[in-house]
Chain A
Amino acid sequence: METASIMSVGFERNRWLGARVAVIAANVANADTPGYKARDVAPFGETMSATRIEQARTRPAHLALDDGRGRAFETVTRPATASKHSGNAVSLETEMASLGDARSEQAKAAGILGAFHRMLLASAKG
């Protein structure tokens, strides 16, 4: 696999993890909001394999859809655990576990990106 493609997968992975942490933060923030249901982002594998429909561009002036970079990840409602009397279904324990998970996954992704970066630098220096 090309190094550039590995970099791009690593980039997407980090972006996905960032989006996941944002959703977890929203869940934690709304741990006491009546009627709030915990959310999560769609799994990374799904977002990577999802097909995108693109419009044909026959002239350069035609508007291009975004190239996939920077698009928002889909969010799904998390299967409800025991909900409180107020209709709130956020379990702080689950959220904290997911947060720790995202943290270590991101450390891994950043480590791999760093290793490839060092490889690139080593080959460039000769």
Chain B
Amino acid sequence: MSDGLQTAIVSSVAALRAQSLRLRVVSENLANANVTAATSSGDPYVRKTVSFKDEIDRASGASIVQVRAIGRDAAPFRIHLEPGHPAADAAGHVKLPNVNPLIELSDMREAHRSYEASLQVVRQSREMLSDLVDLLKGR
């Protein structure tokens, strides 16, 4: 009887794991938002992206969300004029990472929202399970 509810919890836990990995990638991007190359020939930090895919867990039959891949953003780097910088080219331009803090913060909000929704599903499923267990109490 509680099979469906247990499946729900398995799905939600997979979602929590996926969303926290997404949050980790967001924090990596933000932490490295100003990391340049050491020399003028090198590239700065490249923004990482996360994509999800749906999978069926064979053991429980639950739909579990998995991280498809951690990709690299192909957007162009920001160019900054700073002739004294070690990574500056002949014209004095420095390549800065293609990280936009505004995008990262909105991504973080969305991860938080999805995380909260999955957490709510776990909470409700647990309440429903304990409702069923309460049936055993002879009143």
**Measuring CB to CB, which residues of chain A are less than 8 angstroms from any residue of chain B?**
11, 14-15, 17-22, 24-26, 28-34, 36, 92, 95-96, 99-100, 102-103, 106-107, 110, 113-114, 117-118, 121
Taking chain A's interface residues, is the majority helix, strand, or loop, or is none over half, making it mixed? helix
Chain A residues, CB < 8 A from B4: 15, 17-22
Please choose the segment from B39-47, B72-80, B91-99, B123-131 that sits at the chain A interface, where 4 or more of its residues have CB less than 8 A away.
B123-131
**Chain B: how many interface residues by the 8 Å CB criterion?**
41
B14-54 Cβ-contact flags toward A at 8 Å (1 or 0):
11001100100000000000000000000000000001111
Which residues of chain B (72-125) have a CB below 8 Å from chain A?
110-111, 113-114, 117-118, 120-121, 124-125
Chain A residues, CB < 8 A from B9: 25
Q: Which of B3, B62, B132 contacts A26 (CB 8 A)?
A: B62
Bound Cα distance A29, B12 (Å): 6
Number of A-B contacts (CB under 8 A): 115
Task: Write the chain A residue with the least CB distance to B127.
Answer: A103
Q: Is the CB of A96 within 8 A of B52?
A: no
Q: Which of B62, B111, B118, B134 contacts A28 (CB 8 A)?
A: B118
Q: Known: A29-B64, A33-B52. Contact between A117 and B135, CB under 8 A?
A: yes
* Given contact pairs A15-B3, A96-B120, A114-B135, a sample of 12 additional A-B residue pairs in the complex whose CB atoms are under 8 Å apart: A14-B132, A19-B4, A22-B5, A25-B125, A26-B62, A31-B114, A33-B65, A96-B117, A99-B124, A102-B124, A110-B131, A110-B132
Bound Cα distance A30, B55 (Å): 10
Bound Cα distance A20, B11 (Å): 13
Q: Known: A28-B15, A28-B121, A30-B65. Contact between A22 and B128, CB under 8 A?
A: no
